[in-house]
Amino acid sequence: MNILLTGGAGFIGTHLTKKLLDEGHIVLAVDNFGSNYDPALKRRNVAPFEGRPGYYLFEGDIRESSFLHLLFGTYAIDVVVHLAGLAGVRPSLQQPASYFDTNVTGTVTLLQTMRDFKVSKIVFASSSSVYGERNEIPFRETDRIEELASPYAISKRTGEMLLQNYHQLFGLNAYCLRFFTVYGPNQRPDMAISRFIQRLFDGERIQLFGNGQSLRDYTYVNDIVAGIVRAIERVNGFEIINLGGARPVALIDLVRKLEQYTGRKARLDYRPEQPGDVSQTAADLTKAAHLLGYQPRVSLEEGLQRMVNWFQAEHTSLLEEK
């Protein structure tokens, strides 16, 4: 199968690339190597795939119609996996225009190109942030979406609505996967777990916003990848599907686990709650199990230990100096 993968040099994208190549698929990876975080990290992410049979990397922007038309006109594409976009709640409060330009305009341009070239299947990376602040857990795909808390959440919800519209108007087959706080090796350095591990080893203070009791449904990247692969295989019609870890944990408890696995004591710096943050996330996985056979297999404890081990292997000389 020929799979066009946008955001192919990112954290989830490179984990997915390895899985798809291992299964014998052709991966047409697209990335603009933008500066939302260090482009050198993204280039390091894709370096292991250079020269692998079936892997092709294209540097370009999904907002550029001419770039996409050249790509779609050159290769026969069976399915698109759309991971590209700006991520993160707090940065979207400072750069809302950039988020809408990349996440909405980019998605529209991609969908129109798919229509032009009669490519009818897409798997889209959405986010648990679309649920906003709510008291009832777990979050179900049938929940009403009313009070989105950030421009990032709005941009992702808009993406879902666009795919639904293209399904209704043009018969597009689209699965929107709502990811719940994905973590693992090569995670973006601005994400909480990456920052916490770095600061534990550096002996720097860890900032906790609020009282440390906010709940997050953390999902190990291998489980997310397994869900995406099943979606690629089964995408038909239009569906919104949660992919989570199904075991929310309080932020302070996450830090305590990282203390245990790093052997370092955290220096905590409590800060006021941040605009755009929500108090809890928790995924109902009933639909994912039914449609995708999805079941998270990596516990938070195992996943955090793997991530700490990876960090230590990547930063051996730095840690020795400390």
- What are the sequence ranges of the domains in the chain? 2-183+218-246+282-297
pLDDT score at 274: 81
Distance (Å, rounded) from C-alpha 54 to C-alpha 22?
Answer: 10
Q: How wide is the angle at C-alpha 204 spanned by C-alphas 198 and 208, nearest 5°?
A: 85
Residue 305's Cβ-side half-sphere holds a number of Cα atoms within 13 Å equal to: 6
pLDDT score at 273: 83
pLDDT score at 19: 98
Distance (Å, rounded) from C-alpha 13 to C-alpha 7?
Answer: 6
Q: Among residues 152, 175, 183, 294, which one is catalytic?
A: 152
Give me the numbers of helices (H) and strands (E) for the chain, helices first please: 13, 13
Q: Assign residue 219 a region: left if phi > 0, alpha if psi is -120 to 50, beta otherwise?
A: beta
Work out whether the CA dihedral 236, 237, 243, 246 comes out positive or negative: negative
Q: The domain 2-183+218-246+282-297 belongs to what CATH superfamily?
A: NAD(P)-binding Rossmann-like Domain (3.40.50.720)
- SS3 assignment, position 247: coil
For the question of residue 152 being annotated catalytic, the response is: yes
Render each residue's pLDDT in the chain as its tens digit; 322 residues: 999 999 999 999 999 999 999 999 999 999 999 888 889 999 999 999 999 999 999 999 999 999 999 999 999 999 999 999 999 898 999 999 999 999 999 999 999 999 999 999 999 999 999 999 988 999 999 999 988 989 999 999 999 999 999 999 999 999 999 999 999 999 988 899 999 999 999 999 998 888 888 999 999 999 999 999 999 999 999 999 999 998 999 999 999 999 999 999 999 998 888 887 888 999 999 999 999 999 999 999 999 999 999 999 887 644 454 4
Please, where are the H alpha helices in the chain?
11-22, 39-46, 65-74, 89-94, 96-100, 106-116, 151-170, 192-202, 221-234, 251-262, 286-292, 300-314, 316-321
pLDDT score at 322: 46
